[in-house]
Structure 1
């Protein structure tokens, strides 16, 4: 979430919710804004002013109306999810409440971490990121026709006339799909596709050939050079839009499973290192600042020993969520391994990166973790280094790791800076 964007707001609507104040506090740590209401008039006035991302409604209702009385009114003013906080419900009761607007049920005793996990999923579903389409076609007219169709459908499109220049938009625009003309004067589409496939970072980007070629054998030969499909040019608009949507959705899902850690949904070890290596190369080429942080949860073995591995996973997920929501598109965060995380700060100085990490450290230390009826807090230590002349990615990792080691031995819950 960018700093200029409004935080998603959640309205907590209830006469009284056990742990409601703590819930509101925890939600703010994870990038949500939370407002509590106990009266119908105040809730409805707020909803008229600003529609919430989600509403949490307690089964006891509000001071001046029951939950069933307020549900239809909330449904008219908000299209977001409505979560019903309850102690227990029969299947018949759940079906009835779903018919009048409830989308999810949250049960007492309230597990705040699970609730935030659910809100994360709902937020991700609501934030549909437009598909990015790169069209490579030497014909201005044909490229613009396809581009206009896809732009009207809500997609982001770049048109490239010279296929030999394809690597710059591949790296900077990061397309979800490449629509490639087959017959171009500089080189054929299948030839440039074969070159693109030499670079592993573009393996998961589908290349679809667009051509008037109808010979099936020639189509298959082109696909064998590195393309994923072959579509005939001048197909109906709705067919083009549907084909791009389906292909992008499928490959986005595949890329997520390929590149992300299954527990945290951050980049996995391989892909965070790959991102760092590419960022180092770009920073050297363009003389840009680059900083890197290693973060390690303090006394993690004790957490597993005292509370169990499922609680340890919960702690890892809570830190991952904080990193994911705080990186703000200024780099990338990944799970380096176990309870250790790596963060790449593009175009960021050492001091600025260290300030960000220290802010995360303070926020993380204030989060309340829970295991059954036991509540506890966790801290992390970190090391931050910046790219120096002649450094490669491995040396940058070693530099951050060395000051992380020093921070651990200096008492933990602190951020070390590599000053060499």
Structure 2
């Protein structure tokens, strides 16, 4: 995150902390006044239950806003009132008032910690990272030129450095916005000092080039923390594929989509700011009745939920969510101040996956949620992504098409759908083998990912057919975009046993809102595709509505 953006988060967290102090001060005054106005000289019954519920929330939230001692003291008093409420006893008035006064003192004192999250550099920069540049450390001009030419067709801007010293002198070793650093293995010992071996999650994927592929060479490169090895001469499509894989792994581990369900608005907003600063997209739900609709609209990787929310139970809410088959796989994590282990286990047994106790430090919350989102995305990828290309599977891309069709109807926006097919692909498989054919398919998948927007949906429809959904994109713009894809793909050079060859692409495009259904629009794009095939392939054809045949006048008898 840019410095200004991070400071903005810090300021917002401090405002929340101030609001927390104001709120708790008021609640303490109200609770103390309520007790003093009562004729009772002991705390019991409804007053004990009300006090227990309030202290339970305070114990869970105080540490989050920097008041660790206040949270511990509230926890002690909470447990006393819980015992009174459940056991039917009473707490002496003097003791209760003394502890309430102690809470006031702890609230007014600075506990020494802050609401400001301590986030590492990788997290702080997560929202601002782009991944289109490649640093190439290669002294051989011919290899360097070949890689610049080849990788540029996949959307990468390659910067050449003749040595690690030149790379470091240019300040490139400290830059975080590169898709990969590619290094000649002759610099293995020198470059290892720039990319630490003990880095658990490398900020930039590191790939080595080597003329040797012996076990010792591979082991040393793996030992240096690299994510890949390419032998010279370089198979450019395979290299681009590896860069894409490494960046996808980095994307999965860096981001995430989270829904937070908590009736404490200030605490929920604090969590939202912390997780947003860590590079995640977050939606807060403070009214439990809205959670199902928010899940359907936001499609999160993870649901964070309190257990006790007024008259609502997080356990019952989790069970309700699991009623719908589409949410059976959604990870649900309880974020609660409940410390009774038996209660935690009972709650987990009824639909949740994990339990995090409040209070939790900002950094630990970010780490736990990021890890959970990463795992959820990996599992979702296995279920919805094609194993060869990493693109959406046939059923999933059709679901995305239905969603975009509904969005067009709702908002009156333009959206185009394109059907793509590799030309003469059977002859590629027959001539060069299916392994080479797979390389061609992956190359097209990588090119589509780089040439299209993040908001575009790309799927492998079957075999060598692909579907692309282009939101907010009229036909003429879609034609220009897809023609650029055709031109770029036609320029890629593939190789098999010293034989070089190229493959072209045919595309048909239709406009979603011109049809009564998403299926009809896809059929129209398919018809346009076959018109393109009939017209000579290697290009884009827009669907044209058939003109009705003119009426024939009946000759007079």
TM-score under structure 2 length normalisation:
0.64
- Pairwise CA distance, 1:183: 4.5
Tell me the secondary structure at the aligned position of residue 166 of structure 1. helix
- Pairwise CA distance, 1:136: 1.4
> How far apart, in 2, do the equivalents of 1:28 and 1:92 lie?
32
Q: 1:401 aligns with which of 505, 526, 539?
A: 526
- Within-5 A mapping of 1:55-74: 55-58=181-184, 67=187, 71=191
Q: Quick check: 161-170 or 301-310, which moved more?
A: 161-170
| Residue 313 (str. 1) matches residue 434 (str. 2) | no
1:54-95 superposed Cα distances (whole Å, 9 cap, x missing partner)? 443446x6xxxxx4786468659x974554432226555566
> How far apart, in 1, do the equivalents of 2:399 and 2:417 lie?
13
Say if 1:186 and 1:25 are closer, same or farther in 2 by CA, change over 3 A.
farther
| Residue 381 (str. 1) matches residue 533 (str. 2) | no
Say if 1:270 and 1:301 are closer, same or farther in 2 by CA, change over 3 A.
same
**Higher fraction of helix:** 2
> How far apart, in 1, do the equivalents of 2:355 and 2:222 lie?
43
- Within-5 A mapping of 1:213-292: 214=340, 216=342, 220=346, 224=350, 227-229=351-353, 231=355, 234-237=358-361, 240-292=365-417
> How far apart, in 2, do the equivalents of 1:166 and 1:12 lie?
50
> How far apart, in 2, do the equivalents of 1:200 and 1:58 lie?
50
Tell me the secondary structure at the aligned position of residue 267 of structure 1. coil
5+ residue gaps, structure 2: 1-126, 197-201, 546-557
5+ residue gaps, structure 1: 62-66
Tell me the secondary structure at the aligned position of residue 353 of structure 1. helix
Contact 1:298–1:413 (CA under 8 A) maintained in structure 2: yes
| Residue 24 (str. 1) matches residue 148 (str. 2) | yes
| Residue 360 (str. 1) matches residue 360 (str. 2) | no
Contact 1:15–1:58 (CA under 8 A) maintained in structure 2: no
- Pairwise CA distance, 1:251: 1.2
Q: How many residues align?
A: 408
Q: In the alignment, what sits opposite 1:64? A: none
Contact 1:381–1:407 (CA under 8 A) maintained in structure 2: yes
1:320-351 superposed Cα distances (whole Å, 9 cap, x missing partner)? 11112222122200000000001111122122
1:219-259 superposed Cα distances (whole Å, 9 cap, x missing partner)? 647854xx333536524336644542332222111001000
Say if 1:201 and 1:410 are closer, same or farther in 2 by CA, change over 3 A.
farther
> How far apart, in 2, do the equivalents of 1:102 and 1:142 lie?
41
> How far apart, in 2, do the equivalents of 1:387 and 1:103 lie?
41
- Within-5 A mapping of 1:14-413: 14-18=139-143, 20-38=144-162, 43=167, 45-47=169-171, 51=175, 53-58=179-184, 67=187, 71=191, 80-88=204-212, 90-92=214-216, 104-127=228-251, 128-151=253-276, 153-167=278-292, 169-184=294-309, 188-190=313-315, 192-194=317-319, 196-197=321-322, 201-211=326-336, 214=340, 216=342, 220=346, 224=350, 227-229=351-353, 231=355, 234-237=358-361, 240-388=365-513, 391-413=516-538
TM-score under structure 1 length normalisation:
0.83
Contact 1:297–1:380 (CA under 8 A) maintained in structure 2: yes
Bigger Rg, which one: 2
> How far apart, in 2, do the equivalents of 1:236 and 1:147 lie?
14
- Pairwise CA distance, 1:98: 6.7
Q: Quick check: 157-166 or 305-314, which moved more?
A: 157-166
Contact 1:163–1:186 (CA under 8 A) maintained in structure 2: no
- Pairwise CA distance, 1:175: 2.2
- Pairwise CA distance, 1:387: 1.7
Tell me the secondary structure at the aligned position of residue 289 of structure 2. helix
- Pairwise CA distance, 1:303: 0.7
Say if 1:185 and 1:284 are closer, same or farther in 2 by CA, change over 3 A.
farther
> How far apart, in 2, do the equivalents of 1:145 and 1:49 lie?
34
Q: Quick check: 129-138 or 236-245, which moved more?
A: 236-245
> How far apart, in 2, do the equivalents of 1:233 and 1:43 lie?
46
> How far apart, in 2, do the equivalents of 1:335 and 1:103 lie?
26
Q: How big is the alpha-carbon RMSD for the aligned residues of Structure 1 and Structure 2?
A: 3.5
> How far apart, in 1, do the equivalents of 2:152 and 2:437 lie?
22
Q: Quick check: 333-342 or 22-31, which moved more?
A: 22-31
Tell me the secondary structure at the aligned position of residue 88 of structure 1. coil
Q: Quick check: 172-181 or 146-155, which moved more?
A: 146-155
1:5-25 superposed Cα distances (whole Å, 9 cap, x missing partner)? 57222224213445x433211
- Pairwise CA distance, 1:188: 4.8
